[in-house]
Structure 1
Amino acid sequence: VGAFLSPPPHPHTAAAGPPCFPHLLAPPGSGPARLPRRRSRTVLHRRREKAAAARAEQRGPRKGMAGAGRRVAVAAVQFACTDTVADNVAAAERLIREAHKKGANIVLIQELFEGHYFCQAQRMDFFGRAKPYKENPTIMRMQKLAKELDVVIPVSFFEEAGNAHYNSVAIIDADGTDLGLYRKSHIPDGPGYQEKFYFNPGDTGFKAFKTKYATIGVGICWDQWFPETARAMVLQGAEILFYPTAIGSEPQDMNLDSREHWKRVMQGHAGANLVPLVASNRIGKETVETEHGNSTIKFYGNSFIAGPTGEIVKLANDKDEEVLVAEFDLDEIKSTRHGWGIFRDRRPDLYKVLLTLDGKTSSSS
């Protein structure tokens, strides 16, 4: 998968013509520009590329070889949740093992996968599902699994922290080490998605976690709709973005369908930051008893993996349990990102308006 991008040439100093593409420059009237002919080396190089590609295809995604060409295989899994923790954790483990067999180095599970998406209702008894970060048995189980399989696993869970509660993800490295915590920053509140009743706004800020295979950034569901989330993580060094998700129909109108919008927004984050992106969503219909009757959401799956220009390279459907795996060459992507100059040409001095809620700045700004 990583071979689909070729890094643009380095910026050129010529006064005329496209500065980032010197091979397009030519004197007026001279016809199409041509590169110097170096037939023997070019042919040899192409033969070597074809041979290497053939070997890579036969071998499949590399396991545990982050230092060899910086090729990393990522996976998104999706499944239907029951409301029994043991069943869901077992399903997650089974799919992580399947992803590992397919060569995945980093495996993403969907948001709050331990049970039904309880935020359809405002019920005090659901706070009993929260567990302290360091005492969560699911996290401990995933640490053992990560170490056994030599894979990285971001683990979504409902966190209790004293009198506060968070929608959180623990990042488990390939040796089972807990690298730290991210708490969901943007908390939605609407029919069927009443998260403000349960979750405090996250206080960790956006992070980049250095794992065995790559430096990754993780946002959670509603975070994925905000471009600032993705940019903040990539600015801190994230090479791949991950978004565990729980999204589907709107209870007030089952015909409303945001899936295409949802995908396009994240494809934009991948393309704007020139990084791969992985989104994992649940499937199935879930009904939760509320204070006003029952609320039902049909989760639309469509988990996907996008490449660094925003194109979807792997896509699940809306009803089946699936494991998606794609491989990327992170060194090649880094070279492309530098060649485009997207981060070189940023103007942070002009972005003060982004720090306001109303789009206004002080008169002295």
Structure 2
Amino acid sequence: MTSSGILRVALLQMVSHRLDQAANQETGDVFCRRAAQGGADIALFPEMWNVGYSLGEPAVWAGAITRDHPFYTHFQSLARELGMAVALTFLEEGAAGPLNTLSLIDRTGSEVLAYSKVHICAFDQEAPLVRGSSFPVATLLTSQGKVQVGAMICYDREFPESARALMLNGAELILTPNACYLESNRLEQYRARAYENVLGLAMANYAAPQDNGHSVAYDGMAFDGEGCTRNMTLVEAEEAEGVYFADLDLEILRAYRAQEPMRTMRNVSAYDPILRGRPPVHG
């Protein structure tokens, strides 16, 4: 718990034990406890933590779970014990096939948000996944009061429509589990999502050597009270394992959003190719 109005998000940057769900559960437990000791309101896992995003291994699909699986119920109990929300990620067993899912569990152990990755990497190892169909936003009650939270997962952040849909649905904070190499282009693209939608973003990636870390968070406020540019970065990790904390001042963000015109000056009538889903024209 932090001072009034400051929401603390813990980015859990870890190396997984691949398909060993029991070991992943144990490591996740340790890192969640470290997050709680550091005063976190929310702990965010990297993408598909229960199986360590091990999609190159054929046995991975047998690791899909439902919400009555001990892996999931363990973190429900842990969230309740620690009084901290947990953004848990897992390969979910769905009726139509496996899903890449984030479940936001509040500090009472109840799920308040369920999101499955919309933009799956169908050109690669994610092809067997069933894609999600929407970008929901939920109210999360924390020690700092209520905050509107949404999620997008890894490849989702490559599409500006993902964050824009979440902003239009009321998100103040977007949680982003990740599982890939984060280089400057991807990080700057992610920063732009915060700037153009005027909201907080928090991304947790796998540590090296599984990926390259660089978990990061931005507050979405590009200018100060005098109109001068400011650094939106709340935290950016190096490559090593660790719990990295991002402090988002909700009161200042809300005041900034109230006077920032960019979210309200959209000219939707000019966006016909986007609204109709027209494919790109190749010259």
For the aligned pair, the TM-score class normalised by the smaller chain equals: 0.7 to 0.9
Instruction: Name 2:174's counterpart in structure 1.
Output: 241
Written as runs of structure 1 = structure 2, the 5 A alignment for 1:330-345 is 330-345=250-265
Q: Secondary structure at the match of 2:12?
A: strand
Alpha-carbon distance change, 163 to 313 in structure 1, aligned in 2, over 3 angstroms:
closer
Q: 1:103 aligns with which of 39, 49, 69?
A: 39
Q: Distance in 2 between matches of 1:227 and 1:317?
A: 26
The answer to whether the Cα contact below 8 Å between 1:174 and 1:211 also exists between their aligned partners in 2 is no
The answer to whether the Cα contact below 8 Å between 1:108 and 1:244 also exists between their aligned partners in 2 is yes
Q: 1:120 aligns with which of 43, 50, 56?
A: 56
Q: Distance in 2 between matches of 1:181 and 1:136?
A: 16
The answer to whether the Cα contact below 8 Å between 1:61 and 1:102 also exists between their aligned partners in 2 is no
Q: Distance in 2 between matches of 1:223 and 1:177?
A: 25
Written as runs of structure 1 = structure 2, the 5 A alignment for 1:284-303 is 284-285=208-209, 298-303=210-215
Bigger Rg, structure 1 or 2: 1
Deviations 1:53-111 (A, max 9, x none): xxxxxxx823xxxxx4x321111111111131111111111111111111110110111
Q: Distance in 2 between matches of 1:126 and 1:359?
A: 35
Q: Secondary structure at the match of 1:267?
A: helix
Instruction: Name 2:139's counterpart in structure 1.
Output: 210
Structure 1 residue runs of 4 or more that deviate by more than 3 Å after TM superposition: none
Task: Report the CA distance between 1:115 and its aligned residue.
Answer: 2.8
Q: Distance in 1 between matches of 2:16 and 2:208?
A: 7
Instruction: Name 2:235's counterpart in structure 1.
Output: 314
Instruction: Name 1:201's counterpart in structure 2.
Output: 131
Task: Report the CA distance between 1:120 and its aligned residue.
Answer: 2.7
Written as runs of structure 1 = structure 2, the 5 A alignment for 1:38-57 is none
2:157 is the alignment partner of 1:224 = yes
Written as runs of structure 1 = structure 2, the 5 A alignment for 1:1-365 is 61-62=2-3, 68=4, 70-83=5-18, 84-120=20-56, 123=58, 125-132=59-66, 134-190=67-123, 193-196=124-127, 198-203=128-133, 205-213=134-142, 214-248=147-181, 259-285=183-209, 298-309=210-221, 311-318=232-239, 320-355=240-275, 356-359=277-280
Q: Secondary structure at the match of 2:104?
A: strand
The answer to whether the Cα contact below 8 Å between 2:104 and 2:114 also exists between their aligned partners in 1 is yes
Alpha-carbon distance change, 71 to 116 in structure 1, aligned in 2, over 3 angstroms:
closer
Q: Distance in 2 between matches of 1:116 and 1:327?
A: 27
Instruction: Name 1:46's counterpart in structure 2.
Output: none
The answer to whether the Cα contact below 8 Å between 1:170 and 1:181 also exists between their aligned partners in 2 is yes
> Amino acid of the residue matched to residue 129 of structure 1?
G
The answer to whether the Cα contact below 8 Å between 1:245 and 1:281 also exists between their aligned partners in 2 is yes
Q: Secondary structure at the match of 1:284?
A: coil
Q: Distance in 2 between matches of 1:268 and 1:339?
A: 19
Alpha-carbon distance change, 347 to 126 in structure 1, aligned in 2, over 3 angstroms:
same
Task: Report the CA distance between 1:141 and its aligned residue.
Answer: 1.0
> Amino acid of the residue matched to residue 82 of structure 1?
H
- Counting matched residue pairs gives 266
State the TM-score, normalized to the length of structure 1: 0.69
User: Which runs of no fewer than 5 residues in structure 2 stay unpaired?
Assistant: 223-231
The answer to whether the Cα contact below 8 Å between 1:88 and 1:114 also exists between their aligned partners in 2 is yes
> Amino acid of the residue matched to residue 76 of structure 1?
L
Aligned-residue CA RMSD in angstroms? 1.8
Q: Distance in 1 between matches of 2:62 and 2:78?
A: 26
Q: Distance in 1 between matches of 2:219 and 2:249?
A: 11
